[in-house]
Chains A and B, each alone.
Chain A
Amino acid sequence: MPRTDNKQKHEMLQGTLDMLVLRTLITGPAHGHTIAHVIEHSSDEVLQVEQGSLYPALHRLQDRGWVSSYWGASKNNRKAKFYKLTAAGKKQLVAETSRWRQLVGAIGRVLGEVEG
């Protein structure tokens, strides 16, 4: 079933996609299709990867030196471009994760004040 009509699912906050892609790649190299699916599955289908923005994101990450890429064969035995996390990418992931936690904490505190 195509998923584009599913309105309850959330679109991703800008900037977080990069972080999620990096997180996915920590388990090993993957190609674009797999990355999208892994993000969706591990968020219990809450987060939807806009496939149209996935590839620009991958491109950007590669340009910044956080991932590298190579052509290989997928499980279906099709040719696919695999992405692999670089050392710089790992560092970036750590940094972004901690920053995200801070942000969430901060927003949580702000919302907590409102509720209080």
Chain B
Amino acid sequence: MSRLLHRRHQDAELAQELDAHLQHEIDDYISQGLSIEEATRGAHLNLGNTTRIREDIWKWNSLNLLEGIVRDFAYAARTLARTPGFAIMAVAVMALGIGANTTLFTVVHSVLLKPLPFADPSRLVMLYERSFDVKYPFNVIAPGVYAEWQKHARSFERMAIFGSNSYNLSGDSGQLPEKIDSARVAAEFFPTLGVKTAYGRVFDSSDDRAQAEATVVLSWGLWKRRYGGDTSILGREILLDSKPYTVIGIMPAWFAYPDAQTQVWTAFHREIPPKDLVTLDSHSSSAIARLKLGVPMPQALGEIDTITRRLRVQYGANQPAIGIGANMRLVLDDMVQDFKTPLYVILAATSCVLLIACLNVANLLIARAASRRKEVAIRAALGGSRWRIVREQLAETIVLAAIGGSLGLVFAYFAIQWLLGVRQDIAREQTIHMDWIAVAFTVGVTLASALLAGLIPAMTASGKRVLGPLQESSRSHTGGQARTRLRKLLLSLEVALTVVLLIGAGLLVKSYERLRSADMGCVTDNVLTMRLGLPKAHYSEAAQRVQFFDQLLTGLRALPGVSAAAVVNVVPGQGYGGDNVIRVAEHPPLPKGQMQIARRRFCDPGYFAAMQIPLLRGRIFTDQERLDKADKVVISQLLAHDFFPDEDPIGKHLVADVLLDNRSRPYEIVGIVGDTRFLISEPPQPMMYFPLCERRVGMGDDRGSFPARCHLASHPSTAGRAVAR
């Protein structure tokens, strides 16, 4: 660079120098007896055109570097064009490697690294309880515990409790009703996040109490879709679960919290029954908090942990499900925690692939360079600088990598579009897009790949043994020992990386196989599931709802192609679905602080046959034993094994507050059925099946949403269409 900057000064100096040379030459000739004219002429002839020399050096100073690079690239392009097979292979390998890396980087960067769009997100934390059985260190919280935190904790600027639910949004002016996801949030929720509405206002403390008027905040998407983006909706009433709610605000389009599906927000303390607000052992809610400026996370955690432990000491004997402590993590970590490890693993895998691609290209280059060894050796002997020879090789790989990188960028673009299409469950999916950071990453990766692939073969070209080929008499000699060793090394590296990748892929396939072959405990082929909600206004009585299901099932079973149909509140694999603390009436009371828990399901008697869940002992409750006569229960094998290790459970009674009305009732065990999994990735849990009960059909936490299962003999899709009618 200094050459470029100082060339004017240098040129002036050179002019002087050449002038001095001429003078010396002239002096020489004159001393030999020539006349001044002859001497001057001779001197000029010897030196040649001084301007030309000056120009040469000027050019060398200014252009040598750039021109050389241009020449190298032109040369590289020509060389590659001469071997199109090699060039296409190398470019394709590079494009795939770089493209895959860019795709993954874009996803990782968007999902894991980009800050949340909230004010000062580094102070936003999610609060949790540690579950009493130590199984869930990040358990959802009990509102009563939260209330204590809010009262006593000093480390937080604000905290807010919230939970998810859904509503039936009634159609007005001819629109169809729809089921929408919603969040019930405390008044402090939006201020904690530091977000404001696009129009209107958020909840204030007067909206967020039991006797307040019902108010609702709409998402931008719902407002646009359902209300035509008309701000006159503010102050009007909409019907949620057939009850009027006044619209007070509309959130901006980018706001999607707790998740992108949330379409309305309602006030937590108004929506939740007062008795549920003080419970210490019913874990149902989430809490978000903003740390005070300068308060470190461990200190804040210590504070709420102490509060929780104190509650446990105080009330734990009677309410053993109270958390044993508190927990906390950053909101960003909380949102992406399920994806963090898989994404980093895949990124590592694609990096491996790129590394293999580079090594492959390097290997190909080495093989090709073998045929050019003599040329290189002769040039080196004649003073061709090693740097030049290395540079040529590098130019070649840079050309390859640049083309590969550009193609890779295009590849990545389409890959991301595809990914967004098929995996809409990725956290923060809406933030995933290619930006300049991703492009910069691609450029960086491209250059790194070019250097890696180029320098390995160049190492052999620039070694001290470069003159070796000239001393080797045999012309058919294709590679020196160093080169062979290098290629062997590359090959072992590649094999090692490939083995790592293969093991990873193998494990992945194996766990997928395990998921595929996991025994759900029931039939899963040709089974359709549908969910429906009954509006409470029209089906206020449980008997009405049960009658509806009866009619539906009769209709379904009559459909051609439907071999069986049944109703249950949560199908196997669908998830948690609710549980109860249970007690066996015939057993002595458990020691203080201990308890037994089982998952609960509500179903019609046909459910077990329809799902082919085997009846192992006893019988199923009958169609008559339901509603107010529902005093029978069917238990799973695991429940029988865990709670009745050495006795026959049939005829014993489970005591539980199944109806969640604070009254425990005894249920007679009439049958034992096979285990089913509540989640495909989790082992079965003790499970109990109740008949369709009074108050519990379409009420409380089951929210009237019942999947019906149809066991179909004919093609599922044709029957599916019939069922939809």
One digit per residue, 1 when the CB lies within 8 angstroms of any chain B CB and 0 when it does not, for chain A 1-41 equals 11110000000011110110000000000011110000000
| Minimum CB–CB distance for B210 against chain A, Å | 85
Task: Indicate which residue in A14, A60, A106 contacts B60 across the interface (CB closer than 8 Å).
Answer: A60
Query: Does B423 interact with chain A (Cβ within 8 Å)?
Result: no
Interface string of B7-45 (1 = CB under 8 A from A): 000100110111011011101000000000000011001
Q: Is the pair B20, A52 in contact by a Cβ cutoff of 8 Å?
A: no
Q: Which of A37-73 contact B (CB under 8 A)?
A: 50-52, 55-56, 59-60, 63
Whether the Cβ atoms of B20 and A103 lie closer than 8 Å is: no
Q: Find out whether the CB atom of B467 lies under 8 angstroms from the CB atom of A103.
A: yes
Q: Look across to chain B and name the residue whose beta carbon is closest to the beta carbon of A16.
A: B383
Residues of the B chain whose Cβ atoms lie less than 8 Å from the Cβ of A16: 383
Contact B57 A56 (CB under 8 A): yes
- The reply to whether A103 and B48 form a contact with Cβ atoms under 8 Å apart is no
Residue B83 interfacial (CB < 8 Å): no
Flag whether A79 is at the interface (Cβ < 8 A): yes
State whether B381 touches A99 (Cβ < 8 A): yes
Instruction: Report if A90 contacts B (CB, 8 A).
Output: no
Q: Say yes or no: B382 contacts A13, CB within 8 Å.
A: yes
Write out the residue numbers on chain B whose beta carbons fall within 8 Å of the beta carbon of A4.
45-46
CA distance in complex: A99, B46 (Å): 31
Q: How close is B60's CB to chain A, nearest CB, in angstroms?
A: 7
B408, chain A: closest CB distance, angstroms: 38
Q: Contact at B20–A78, with CB atoms within 8 Å?
A: yes
The answer for the CA separation of A1 and B42 in the assembled complex, in Å, is 7
Number of interface residues of B (CB under 8 A): 33
Q: What's the Cα separation between A50 and B53 when bound, in Å? A: 11
Q: Is the CB of B470 within 8 A of A51?
A: no
The answer to the question of B49 belonging to the interface, with a C-beta cut-off of 8 Å to chain A, is yes
**Considering the chains assembled together, what is the distance between the CA atoms of A70 and B39 in angstroms?**
27
Give residues of chain B (330-368) contacting chain A, Cβ–Cβ below 8 Å: none
State whether the Cβ of B715 lies closer than 8 Å to any Cβ in chain A: no
B693 to chain A, nearest CB (A): 93
Contact B18 A55 (CB under 8 A): yes
Contact A31 B20 (CB under 8 A): yes
Closest to B13 in A: A81
Known: A4-B45, A33-B25, A76-B27. A55 touches B17 (CB 8 A): yes
Shortest Cβ distance from residue B433 to the other chain A in the assembled complex, whole angstroms: 48
- Cα of A63 to Cα of B7 in the assembled complex, Å: 12
B37, chain A: closest CB distance, angstroms: 13
Chain B residue numbers with a CB within 8 Å of A15 are 382-384
Do B470 and A106 touch across chains, with their CB atoms under 8 A apart?
yes
Chain B CB within 10 Å, residue with most, of A33, A50, A106: A33
Bound-state CA distance A63–B64 (Å) is 12
Residue among A4, A52, A60, A79 with the highest chain B CB neighbour number at 10 A: A52
User: Known interface pairs A63-B3, A76-B27, A81-B20. Does A51 touch B48 (Cβ–Cβ under 8 Å)?
Assistant: yes
- The answer to whether B381 touches A103 (Cβ under 8 A) is yes
* Minimum distance in angstroms from A72 CB to a CB of chain B: 11
Q: Is there contact, CB below 8 Å, between B383 and A18?
A: yes
Instruction: Judge whether B60 and A59 touch: CB under 8 Å.
Output: yes
Closest to B52 in A: A52
Question: Is B52 a contact of A81 with CB atoms below 8 Å?
Answer: no
Q: How far is the CB of B10 from chain A (nearest CB, A)?
A: 8
- Are A32 and B381 in touch, CB under 8 angstroms? no
Contact A56 B25 (CB under 8 A): no
Closest B-chain residue to A105, C-beta based?
A: B471
- Bound: A32/B23 CA distance, A: 12
Of the candidates A51, A60, A81, A109, the one whose C-beta lies within 8 Å of that of B46 is: A51
Task: Report whether B42 and A52 are in contact in the complex, using a CB–CB cutoff of 8 Å.
Answer: no
Contact A79 B20 (CB under 8 A): yes
- Contact: A106 with B382, CB < 8 Å? no
Q: Of the candidates A59, A103, A109, which one forms a contact with B14 in the assembled complex, judged by CB atoms under 8 Å apart? A: A59
Contacts of A63 in B (CB 8 A): 3
Contacts of A59 in B (CB 8 A): 10, 14, 57, 60
Give A1 to B485 CA distance when docked, in angstroms.
Answer: 59
Q: A15-B383, A99-B467 given as contacts; is B24 within 8 A of A78 (CB)?
A: yes
Complex: A33 Cα to B24 Cα, angstroms: 7
In the complex, what residues of A have CB within 8 A of residue B473's CB?
A: 109, 113
In the complex, are the beta carbons of B56 and A56 less than 8 A apart?
Answer: yes
* Cβ A74 vs Cβ B382 within 8 A: no
Roughly how many angstroms separate A2 CA and B27 CA in the complex, as a whole number? 14
Q: CA A48 – CA B3 in complex, angstroms?
A: 29
Choice from A52, A74, A103, A109 contacting B47 with Cβ under 8 Å: A52
Tell me, in angstroms, the Cα distance from A106 to B287 when the chains sit together.
82
Residue of B nearest to A37 (CB): B28
Residues of chain B lying within 8 A (CB to CB) of residue A60: 60
Q: Which residues of B, 35-80, contact A by the 8 Å Cβ criterion?
A: 41-42, 45-49, 52-53, 56-57, 60
CB-nearest residue of chain B relative to A4?
Answer: B45
Give the residue name and chain of the A residue nearest to B471 (CB): A106
> Whole-angstrom distance between the alpha carbons of A80 and B22 in the complex?
11
CB within 8 Å for A55 and B53 given contacts A2-B42, A14-B382, A99-B467: yes
Task: Please determine whether A56 and B60 come into contact, CB atoms closer than 8 angstroms.
Answer: yes
Taking a contact as CB atoms closer than 8 A, the residue among A13, A18, A81, A102 that contacts B17 in the complex is A81
B17 touches A32 (CB 8 A): yes
Contact of A55 among B3, B27, B49, B57 (CB under 8 A): B57
Complex CA gap A34/B3 in Å reads 26
Neighbouring A residues of B46 by C-beta, 8 Å: 2-4, 51
Complex Cα–Cα for A65 and B259 (A): 65
Of A55, A78, A81, A106, the contact of B467 (CB 8 Å cutoff)? A106
In the complex, 12 of the A-B residue pairs with CB atoms within 8 angstroms, ordered by the A residue number, are: A2-B41, A2-B45, A4-B46, A13-B382, A31-B20, A52-B53, A55-B53, A63-B3, A78-B24, A78-B27, A102-B470, A106-B470
Nearest 8 CB-CB pairings of A with B = A15-B383, A52-B48, A33-B24, A2-B42, A106-B470, A81-B17, A80-B20, A51-B47
8 other A-B residue contacts (CB within 8 Å) besides A15-B383, A51-B48: A1-B42, A19-B383, A55-B14, A59-B60, A60-B60, A96-B383, A102-B471, A103-B381
